[in-house]
Amino acid sequence: MKILVTGGFGFIGSALIRKIIRETKYEVLNIDSITNVASPEAIEDCAKSGRYNFARIDICDKDKLLKAFKKFKPDAVMHLAAESHVDRSIKNPYRFIFTNIIGTFNMLEVSTKYINIEKNIKKFKFLHVSTDEVFGSLKKNEKIFTEKNKYFPNSPYSASKASSDHLVRAWNKTYGLPTVTTYCSNNYGPWQNPEKLIPTIISNALKKNTIPIYGKGNNVRDWIYVDDHISGLLLALNEGKVGQNYNIGSNSQISNIELANKICKILDKRLNNKSPHNKLIKFVKDRPGHDFRYAISAKKIKKNLNFSPKFNFNKGLNSTVDWYIENSKWLLSKHKL
Protein backbone atom coordinates (compact mmCIF):
# COMPACT_ATOMS: atom_id res chain seq x y z
CA MET A 1 0.00 0.00 0.00
CA LYS A 2 1.18 3.53 -0.82
CA ILE A 3 0.09 6.29 1.56
CA LEU A 4 0.38 9.99 0.92
CA VAL A 5 0.65 11.74 4.30
CA THR A 6 0.35 15.53 4.55
CA GLY A 7 2.01 17.31 7.48
CA GLY A 8 4.47 14.49 8.16
CA PHE A 9 6.99 16.81 9.86
CA GLY A 10 4.41 17.84 12.45
CA PHE A 11 3.93 16.35 15.92
CA ILE A 12 1.28 13.79 14.95
CA GLY A 13 2.33 13.30 11.32
CA SER A 14 5.89 12.41 12.35
CA ALA A 15 4.62 9.87 14.93
CA LEU A 16 2.42 8.41 12.17
CA ILE A 17 5.29 8.07 9.69
CA ARG A 18 7.58 6.53 12.35
CA LYS A 19 4.92 3.90 13.09
CA ILE A 20 4.19 3.18 9.42
CA ILE A 21 7.88 2.71 8.57
CA ARG A 22 8.61 0.62 11.71
CA GLU A 23 5.50 -1.53 11.80
CA THR A 24 4.11 -1.90 8.28
CA LYS A 25 5.32 -2.54 4.77
CA TYR A 26 3.60 0.58 3.40
CA GLU A 27 5.42 3.12 1.28
CA VAL A 28 4.96 6.76 2.29
CA LEU A 29 5.09 10.10 0.52
CA ASN A 30 5.29 12.93 3.04
CA ILE A 31 4.03 16.26 1.72
CA ASP A 32 4.96 19.15 4.02
CA SER A 33 5.73 22.80 3.34
CA ILE A 34 8.05 22.92 6.42
CA THR A 35 6.47 25.74 8.40
CA ASN A 36 8.25 26.97 11.52
CA VAL A 37 6.70 24.22 13.69
CA ALA A 38 7.90 21.40 11.40
CA SER A 39 10.51 18.99 12.81
CA PRO A 40 12.16 17.00 10.00
CA GLU A 41 14.57 15.64 12.65
CA ALA A 42 11.66 13.68 14.21
CA ILE A 43 11.71 11.26 11.27
CA GLU A 44 15.39 11.30 10.39
CA ASP A 45 15.60 7.51 10.82
CA CYS A 46 12.64 6.93 8.47
CA ALA A 47 14.35 8.99 5.80
CA LYS A 48 16.94 6.19 5.55
CA SER A 49 14.21 3.67 4.73
CA GLY A 50 13.70 2.85 1.07
CA ARG A 51 9.94 3.23 1.67
CA TYR A 52 10.01 6.91 2.66
CA ASN A 53 9.68 9.77 0.16
CA PHE A 54 9.36 13.49 0.70
CA ALA A 55 8.14 16.43 -1.37
CA ARG A 56 8.24 20.00 -0.08
CA ILE A 57 4.86 21.26 -1.27
CA ASP A 58 2.43 23.78 0.16
CA ILE A 59 -1.04 22.18 0.03
CA CYS A 60 -2.31 25.53 -1.28
CA ASP A 61 -0.40 24.77 -4.52
CA LYS A 62 -2.84 22.59 -6.47
CA ASP A 63 -0.65 22.03 -9.55
CA LYS A 64 2.29 20.72 -7.55
CA LEU A 65 -0.07 18.50 -5.56
CA LEU A 66 -1.53 16.92 -8.69
CA LYS A 67 1.94 16.25 -10.10
CA ALA A 68 2.96 14.58 -6.82
CA PHE A 69 -0.20 12.41 -6.84
CA LYS A 70 0.37 11.32 -10.45
CA LYS A 71 4.02 10.47 -9.77
CA PHE A 72 3.57 8.63 -6.43
CA LYS A 73 0.18 7.01 -7.22
CA PRO A 74 -1.13 6.69 -3.64
CA ASP A 75 -3.73 4.12 -2.58
CA ALA A 76 -4.71 6.37 0.31
CA VAL A 77 -4.32 9.87 1.71
CA MET A 78 -3.94 10.72 5.39
CA HIS A 79 -4.47 14.47 5.58
CA LEU A 80 -2.90 16.03 8.67
CA ALA A 81 -1.26 19.21 7.37
CA ALA A 82 -2.79 22.17 9.15
CA GLU A 83 -2.07 25.29 11.09
CA SER A 84 -2.86 23.90 14.51
CA HIS A 85 -2.28 26.38 17.34
CA VAL A 86 -5.32 28.23 18.72
CA ASP A 87 -3.32 31.19 20.10
CA ARG A 88 -1.65 31.81 16.74
CA SER A 89 -5.04 31.56 15.02
CA ILE A 90 -6.29 34.39 17.24
CA LYS A 91 -3.27 36.62 16.57
CA ASN A 92 -3.08 35.87 12.86
CA PRO A 93 -5.97 33.88 11.35
CA TYR A 94 -4.88 34.39 7.72
CA ARG A 95 -2.68 31.28 7.32
CA PHE A 96 -5.33 29.17 9.09
CA ILE A 97 -7.94 30.07 6.50
CA PHE A 98 -5.56 29.31 3.62
CA THR A 99 -3.97 26.09 4.83
CA ASN A 100 -6.90 24.55 6.66
CA ILE A 101 -9.69 25.51 4.26
CA ILE A 102 -8.16 26.20 0.83
CA GLY A 103 -5.47 23.56 1.40
CA THR A 104 -8.06 20.91 2.27
CA PHE A 105 -10.20 21.98 -0.70
CA ASN A 106 -7.15 21.44 -2.95
CA MET A 107 -6.45 18.03 -1.42
CA LEU A 108 -10.07 16.99 -2.12
CA GLU A 109 -10.08 18.36 -5.67
CA VAL A 110 -6.77 16.74 -6.53
CA SER A 111 -7.77 13.39 -4.96
CA THR A 112 -11.03 13.37 -6.94
CA LYS A 113 -9.22 14.23 -10.17
CA TYR A 114 -6.56 11.63 -9.48
CA ILE A 115 -8.96 8.71 -8.90
CA ASN A 116 -10.83 9.65 -12.06
CA ILE A 117 -7.58 9.52 -14.04
CA GLU A 118 -6.14 6.41 -12.32
CA LYS A 119 -9.06 4.07 -12.92
CA ASN A 120 -7.16 1.05 -11.55
CA ILE A 121 -6.83 2.54 -8.02
CA LYS A 122 -9.80 0.57 -6.69
CA LYS A 123 -9.87 1.06 -2.93
CA PHE A 124 -8.74 4.66 -2.55
CA LYS A 125 -9.50 6.31 0.80
CA PHE A 126 -9.11 9.90 1.99
CA LEU A 127 -8.68 10.10 5.76
CA HIS A 128 -9.26 13.58 7.12
CA VAL A 129 -7.79 14.26 10.56
CA SER A 130 -9.94 16.65 12.55
CA THR A 131 -10.35 17.73 16.14
CA ASP A 132 -12.95 17.66 18.92
CA GLU A 133 -12.55 21.46 19.06
CA VAL A 134 -15.06 21.75 16.18
CA PHE A 135 -17.79 20.88 18.72
CA GLY A 136 -16.92 23.90 20.87
CA SER A 137 -17.12 23.77 24.64
CA LEU A 138 -19.28 21.16 26.39
CA LYS A 139 -22.39 22.74 27.86
CA LYS A 140 -23.11 22.34 31.60
CA ASN A 141 -25.73 19.65 30.89
CA GLU A 142 -23.54 17.75 28.39
CA LYS A 143 -21.24 14.99 29.61
CA ILE A 144 -19.31 14.09 26.50
CA PHE A 145 -18.99 14.73 22.73
CA THR A 146 -20.22 12.06 20.35
CA GLU A 147 -19.91 12.09 16.56
CA LYS A 148 -23.49 13.41 16.49
CA ASN A 149 -22.72 16.65 18.34
CA LYS A 150 -23.47 19.86 16.48
CA TYR A 151 -20.57 21.99 15.34
CA PHE A 152 -19.96 25.06 17.55
CA PRO A 153 -16.41 26.22 16.77
CA ASN A 154 -15.23 29.18 18.87
CA SER A 155 -11.71 29.98 17.64
CA PRO A 156 -10.40 30.77 14.15
CA TYR A 157 -8.51 27.43 14.37
CA SER A 158 -11.58 25.33 15.18
CA ALA A 159 -13.73 27.29 12.69
CA SER A 160 -11.20 26.60 9.92
CA LYS A 161 -11.06 22.89 10.85
CA ALA A 162 -14.89 22.78 10.95
CA SER A 163 -14.99 24.33 7.46
CA SER A 164 -12.57 21.70 6.18
CA ASP A 165 -14.73 18.92 7.72
CA HIS A 166 -17.77 20.25 5.84
CA LEU A 167 -15.82 20.27 2.58
CA VAL A 168 -14.75 16.66 3.16
CA ARG A 169 -18.37 15.64 3.75
CA ALA A 170 -19.51 17.47 0.61
CA TRP A 171 -16.84 15.85 -1.56
CA ASN A 172 -17.99 12.46 -0.32
CA LYS A 173 -21.69 13.17 -0.87
CA THR A 174 -21.39 15.13 -4.14
CA TYR A 175 -18.42 13.60 -5.93
CA GLY A 176 -18.32 10.17 -4.27
CA LEU A 177 -14.79 10.64 -2.91
CA PRO A 178 -14.28 7.80 -0.38
CA THR A 179 -13.63 9.82 2.78
CA VAL A 180 -13.44 9.07 6.50
CA THR A 181 -13.13 11.83 9.12
CA THR A 182 -11.74 11.44 12.63
CA TYR A 183 -12.11 13.83 15.58
CA CYS A 184 -9.43 13.51 18.22
CA SER A 185 -8.92 15.11 21.61
CA ASN A 186 -5.68 16.77 22.84
CA ASN A 187 -2.57 14.76 22.02
CA TYR A 188 0.58 14.54 24.10
CA GLY A 189 3.91 12.77 23.59
CA PRO A 190 7.42 13.36 22.22
CA TRP A 191 8.37 15.90 19.52
CA GLN A 192 5.51 18.34 20.17
CA ASN A 193 6.43 21.97 19.50
CA PRO A 194 6.65 24.00 22.74
CA GLU A 195 3.99 26.41 21.52
CA LYS A 196 1.57 23.74 22.90
CA LEU A 197 0.65 23.35 26.60
CA ILE A 198 2.61 20.30 27.85
CA PRO A 199 5.99 21.11 26.26
CA THR A 200 5.44 24.79 27.17
CA ILE A 201 5.11 23.84 30.83
CA ILE A 202 8.22 21.64 30.68
CA SER A 203 10.41 24.04 28.71
CA ASN A 204 9.54 26.98 30.97
CA ALA A 205 10.18 24.85 34.05
CA LEU A 206 13.56 23.73 32.69
CA LYS A 207 14.48 27.35 31.99
CA LYS A 208 13.13 28.42 35.41
CA ASN A 209 10.82 30.86 33.63
CA THR A 210 7.31 31.46 34.87
CA ILE A 211 4.80 28.85 33.64
CA PRO A 212 1.83 30.78 32.20
CA ILE A 213 -1.62 29.25 32.76
CA TYR A 214 -4.74 30.89 31.33
CA GLY A 215 -7.43 32.25 33.69
CA LYS A 216 -7.56 30.15 36.85
CA GLY A 217 -6.48 26.99 35.05
CA ASN A 218 -9.90 25.38 35.44
CA ASN A 219 -10.39 24.60 31.74
CA VAL A 220 -10.61 20.84 31.22
CA ARG A 221 -8.96 18.96 28.36
CA ASP A 222 -9.22 15.29 27.43
CA TRP A 223 -5.75 13.85 26.72
CA ILE A 224 -4.61 10.98 24.51
CA TYR A 225 -1.09 9.67 23.95
CA VAL A 226 -0.09 10.42 20.36
CA ASP A 227 0.62 6.75 19.53
CA ASP A 228 -2.93 5.82 20.56
CA HIS A 229 -4.26 8.51 18.19
CA ILE A 230 -2.09 7.07 15.40
CA SER A 231 -3.41 3.54 16.03
CA GLY A 232 -6.94 4.93 15.75
CA LEU A 233 -6.07 6.71 12.49
CA LEU A 234 -4.66 3.55 10.91
CA LEU A 235 -7.73 1.59 12.03
CA ALA A 236 -10.03 4.24 10.57
CA LEU A 237 -8.04 4.17 7.34
CA ASN A 238 -8.00 0.39 6.97
CA GLU A 239 -11.37 -0.54 8.42
CA GLY A 240 -13.39 2.65 8.74
CA LYS A 241 -16.58 2.83 6.71
CA VAL A 242 -16.56 5.33 3.86
CA GLY A 243 -18.61 8.44 4.66
CA GLN A 244 -18.36 7.83 8.41
CA ASN A 245 -16.87 9.93 11.22
CA TYR A 246 -15.09 8.49 14.26
CA ASN A 247 -14.10 10.08 17.56
CA ILE A 248 -10.70 9.03 18.91
CA GLY A 249 -10.07 9.53 22.63
CA SER A 250 -8.83 7.76 25.73
CA ASN A 251 -11.00 9.20 28.49
CA SER A 252 -8.36 11.19 30.42
CA GLN A 253 -9.89 14.49 31.43
CA ILE A 254 -7.95 16.86 33.65
CA SER A 255 -7.93 20.61 34.28
CA ASN A 256 -4.97 22.66 33.05
CA ILE A 257 -3.90 23.59 36.57
CA GLU A 258 -4.00 19.97 37.77
CA LEU A 259 -1.99 18.98 34.71
CA ALA A 260 0.61 21.71 35.33
CA ASN A 261 0.95 20.61 38.97
CA LYS A 262 1.31 16.96 37.95
CA ILE A 263 4.10 17.82 35.49
CA CYS A 264 5.83 19.98 38.12
CA LYS A 265 5.73 17.06 40.60
CA ILE A 266 7.31 14.72 38.04
CA LEU A 267 10.02 17.33 37.38
CA ASP A 268 10.59 17.69 41.16
CA LYS A 269 11.27 13.94 41.34
CA ARG A 270 13.57 13.90 38.31
CA LEU A 271 15.59 17.09 38.90
CA ASN A 272 17.31 18.38 42.01
CA ASN A 273 15.74 21.80 42.34
CA LYS A 274 15.81 23.76 45.57
CA SER A 275 12.26 25.00 45.21
CA PRO A 276 9.26 23.05 43.81
CA HIS A 277 8.59 23.70 40.15
CA ASN A 278 4.94 24.64 40.74
CA LYS A 279 6.16 27.87 42.37
CA LEU A 280 6.83 28.98 38.76
CA ILE A 281 3.12 28.74 37.79
CA LYS A 282 1.55 32.13 37.08
CA PHE A 283 -2.07 32.72 36.08
CA VAL A 284 -2.35 35.00 33.05
CA LYS A 285 -5.26 36.79 31.33
CA ASP A 286 -7.58 34.19 29.80
CA ARG A 287 -7.57 33.44 26.07
CA PRO A 288 -10.56 35.07 24.30
CA GLY A 289 -13.25 32.53 23.36
CA HIS A 290 -11.47 29.91 25.52
CA ASP A 291 -13.47 26.65 25.45
CA PHE A 292 -14.09 25.53 29.02
CA ARG A 293 -14.35 21.75 28.78
CA TYR A 294 -13.78 18.99 26.24
CA ALA A 295 -14.50 15.29 26.79
CA ILE A 296 -14.82 12.85 23.93
CA SER A 297 -16.61 9.52 23.67
CA ALA A 298 -14.68 6.86 21.73
CA LYS A 299 -17.54 4.32 22.02
CA LYS A 300 -18.21 4.16 18.27
CA ILE A 301 -14.63 3.41 17.19
CA LYS A 302 -14.29 0.92 20.07
CA LYS A 303 -17.47 -0.90 19.12
CA ASN A 304 -17.16 -0.79 15.32
CA LEU A 305 -13.41 -0.99 14.78
CA ASN A 306 -12.23 -2.54 18.06
CA PHE A 307 -10.11 0.47 19.04
CA SER A 308 -8.56 0.38 22.46
CA PRO A 309 -6.02 2.94 23.69
CA LYS A 310 -2.92 1.35 25.26
CA PHE A 311 -1.42 4.22 27.24
CA ASN A 312 -2.50 5.01 30.76
CA PHE A 313 -2.41 8.80 31.28
CA ASN A 314 -0.10 8.86 34.32
CA LYS A 315 2.40 6.47 32.78
CA GLY A 316 2.26 8.23 29.41
CA LEU A 317 2.76 11.62 31.07
CA ASN A 318 5.75 10.36 33.09
CA SER A 319 7.45 8.95 30.01
CA THR A 320 6.65 12.11 28.03
CA VAL A 321 8.27 14.33 30.69
CA ASP A 322 11.28 11.97 30.72
CA TRP A 323 11.54 12.25 26.94
CA TYR A 324 11.59 16.06 27.08
CA ILE A 325 14.23 16.02 29.85
CA GLU A 326 16.39 13.65 27.78
CA ASN A 327 15.81 15.79 24.69
CA SER A 328 15.96 19.16 26.43
CA LYS A 329 18.47 20.47 23.88
CA TRP A 330 15.87 19.96 21.12
CA LEU A 331 13.06 21.32 23.30
CA LEU A 332 14.91 24.48 24.29
CA SER A 333 16.07 25.08 20.72
CA LYS A 334 12.37 25.25 19.72
CA HIS A 335 11.37 27.39 22.72
CA LYS A 336 10.46 30.84 21.40
CA LEU A 337 9.57 32.80 24.57
* 177: Cβ contacts below 8 Å, ≥ 6 apart: 108, 111, 112, 115, 126, 171
Beta carbons of 163 and 110 less than 8 angstroms apart? no
Beta carbons of 190 and 265 less than 8 angstroms apart? no
Between residues 12 and 280, which has the closer beta carbon with respect to ligand NAD?
12
Minimum CB separation from ligand NAD for residue 32, in Å? 4
User: What string marks each residue from 143 to 162 as x (binds ligand NAD by CB under 6 A) or -?
Assistant: ------------------x-
Beta carbons of 198 and 263 less than 8 angstroms apart? yes
CA distance 248 to 229: 7
User: Helix or strand or coil: residue 14?
Assistant: helix
**Number of chain residues interacting with ligand NAD (CB under 6 A):** 30
Between residues 41 and 258, which has the closer beta carbon with respect to ligand NAD?
41
User: What string marks each residue from 69 to 98 as x (binds ligand NAD by CB under 6 A) or -?
Assistant: -----------xxxxx--------------
Between residues 255 and 273, which has the closer beta carbon with respect to ligand NAD?
255
Indicate if 94 belongs to the active site: no
Minimum CB separation from ligand NAD for residue 247, in Å? 11
**Catalytic residue of the set 27, 83, 133, 291:** 133
163 counts as binding ligand NAD under rule CB under 6 A: no
CA distances from 137 to 147, 152, 218, 224, 283 (A): 14, 8, 13, 18, 21
Residue span binding ligand NAD (CB under 6 A) among the ranges 8-16, 206-214, 237-245, 304-312: 8-16
Beta carbons of 213 and 257 less than 8 angstroms apart? yes
User: Helix or strand or coil: residue 255?
Assistant: strand
Question: What are the CB-based long-range contacts (under 8 Å, 24+) for 296-299?
Answer: 296/132, 296/144, 296/145, 296/183, 296/184, 296/185, 296/222, 296/247, 296/248, 296/249, 297/144, 297/145, 297/146, 297/247, 297/249, 298/232, 298/247, 298/248, 298/249, 298/250, 298/251, 299/146, 299/247
44 counts as binding ligand NAD under rule CB under 6 A: no
Binding residue for ligand NAD (CB under 6 A) from 17, 21, 29, 37?
A: 37
**Catalytic residue of the set 132, 195, 222, 228:** 132
Minimum CB separation from ligand NAD for residue 82, in Å? 3
Indicate if 87 belongs to the active site: no
**Catalytic residue of the set 32, 83, 114, 157:** 157
318 counts as binding ligand NAD under rule CB under 6 A: no
17 counts as binding ligand NAD under rule CB under 6 A: no
Binding residue for ligand NAD (CB under 6 A) from 5, 28, 29, 32?
A: 32
Beta carbons of 197 and 222 less than 8 angstroms apart? no
293 counts as binding ligand NAD under rule CB under 6 A: no
Indicate if 147 belongs to the active site: no
35 counts as binding ligand NAD under rule CB under 6 A: yes
What is the torsional sign of CA 310, 312, 313, 319?
A: negative
Where do contacts with ligand NAD occur on this chain (CB under 6 A)?
A: 6-7, 9-13, 32-35, 37-38, 58-60, 80-84, 99, 103, 129, 131, 161, 184, 186-187, 193
Active site residues: 132-133, 157
